[in-house]
């Protein structure tokens, strides 16, 4: 159902594609399109408070050309970053089920295969973190590789950098920029900015793996 403020707008209302720089070294994984955000605009993290918070930080850290984005054709470009989500359609109550995430995993697998320059993955929220690890485990099994990734050994903590083995991107776990997290102070602008400054440093090879 449309919100009154957007009653004259035509909602995108279908799977929301990822977007960004195809040569990106930093991959950002979110949760799912917001019902009145990306589900309305047709672009990830656009048109709601979560997106305003995220793009403001991405602009300050040099990953986005604009600090805000209200529509999929408003001129925003990402530089050295690519944004995707664990689920491509807006789920009920903004929380996708395990089945929905699994249904979208094939798209995520193909993305990982195409984004050959990624050196750092930023997982926004626990669901994105778990989904990325599950996808890597599945890929390792398909390729006949040793499966080194154990969720119990990779605690989800904001700002923590995880080394996943030779040849794999580093993984940074971060709180999701949901309005619930930002309005309560669980996630502040300096906290998220530090995550992306660290992602930049890791992509450049200018910082190590120790937790900040």
pLDDT, tens only, 4-17: 656 677 788 899 99
Domain ranges of the chain: 12-204
Confidence of residue 182 (pLDDT cuts 50, 70, 90): very high
What is the pLDDT, as a whole number, of residue 92?
A: 82
Over pLDDT 90: what percentage of the chain?
60
Confidence of residue 147 (pLDDT cuts 50, 70, 90): low
How far apart CA 210 and CA 172 sit, in angstroms, is 11
Q: What predicted TM-score, i.e. pTM, was given to this entire model?
A: 0.89
pLDDT, tens only, 121-133: 999 999 999 999 9
How far apart CA 119 and CA 121 sit, in angstroms, is 7
Which tokens sit at 86?
């664990």
> Across-strand partners of 20?
82
What is the pLDDT, as a whole number, of residue 209?
A: 46
How far apart CA 203 and CA 26 sit, in angstroms, is 7
Q: Return the axis-axis angle of helices 98-114 and 126-142, rounded to nearest 10°.
A: 60
State the fold for domain 12-204: Uracil-DNA Glycosylase, subunit E (3.40.470)
Segment 110-126 shows an average pLDDT of 95
């Amino acid at each position: 159902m449309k919100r009154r403020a957007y009653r004259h707008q035509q909602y995108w209302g279908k799977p929301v594609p990822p977007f960004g720089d195809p040569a990106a070294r930093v991959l950002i994984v979110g949760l799912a399109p917001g019902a009145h955000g990306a589900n309305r605009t047709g672009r990830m993290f656009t048109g709601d408070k979560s997106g305003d918070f995220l793009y403001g930080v991405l602009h300050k850290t040099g990953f986005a050309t604009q600090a805000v984005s209200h529509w999929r054709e408003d001129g925003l470009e990402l530089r050295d970053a690519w944004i995707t989500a664990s689920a491509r359609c807006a789920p009920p109550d903004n929380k996708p089920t395990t089945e929905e995430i699994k249904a979208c995993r094939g798209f995520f697998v193909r993305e990982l295969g195409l984004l050959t320059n990624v050196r750092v993955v930023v997982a926004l929220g626990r669901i994105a973190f778990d989904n990325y690890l599950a996808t890597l485990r599945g890929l390792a099994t398909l390729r006949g590789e040793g499966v080194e990734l154990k969720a119990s050994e990779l605690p989800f903590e904001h700002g923590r950098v995880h080394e996943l083995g030779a040849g794999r991107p580093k993984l940074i776990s971060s709180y999701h920029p949901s309005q619930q997290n930002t309005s309560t102070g669980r996630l502040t602008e300096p906290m998220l900015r530090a995550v992306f400054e660290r992602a930049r440093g890791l992509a450049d090879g200018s910082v190590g793996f120790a937790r900040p």
